[in-house]
Structure 1
């Protein structure tokens, strides 16, 4: 998400990419329709959240370590947001007691997704200086 947002410099690209990727992978795997929609909605919301935070005027003024910390925080927040529709769907399907019984699984999923989101952004931050020359070519 970070590299796409940085290279294109336009709002909406990450959200569209996240939504298309999520829905395409869910339909290819032939999972249930409502489940696929909730997971896809989670990824789309995560992309939208990341873009909102990335394109804030405040974020454009940040430099150095402050910007890196802001991007990592934005990534963690978007990773958490990705799980919200899935949790709401499971609460609706299982009820309170079923949801509580499965809560260790949800906590594991939340921690795993957040760590992977953090690591992906950390990798993206390390690649950004190498991609600086591509900005002008992609944004035309």
Structure 2
């Protein structure tokens, strides 16, 4: 059996993904430390969340290029649809935009678990699950912070 390419970079990928959580933590926890910057931190949080979400959606497109055992069209279409979610959120108030991204992260994880579970190594699936739920928890905290202002 041919080794999966991700396995050669497990440490790098794992460390990078954990470091990538730092801006989520800053946006979610920062308003408690610096309440006067809450709006700015929330907007920075959403910008970073949009960037990461779009990156993950784009990764589905890239995976579609290499999948041999099934038709890649559904992954290409899913990648496009997922990439449009942050664009739709751009036109919504900040609390709804945050909620939309939260739901988007869950939908993206569900898509990967449903259709790509045999593509990813087990360690990566577990890592994505853990990182996604931490990111979702940060979104929930940002929503809670924003609701305190209403």
Q: Fold match, TM over 0.5?
A: no
Shorter-chain TM-score: what band?
0.3 to 0.5
Q: TM-score if structure 1 supplies the norm length?
A: 0.37
Q: TM-score, normalised by structure 2?
A: 0.35
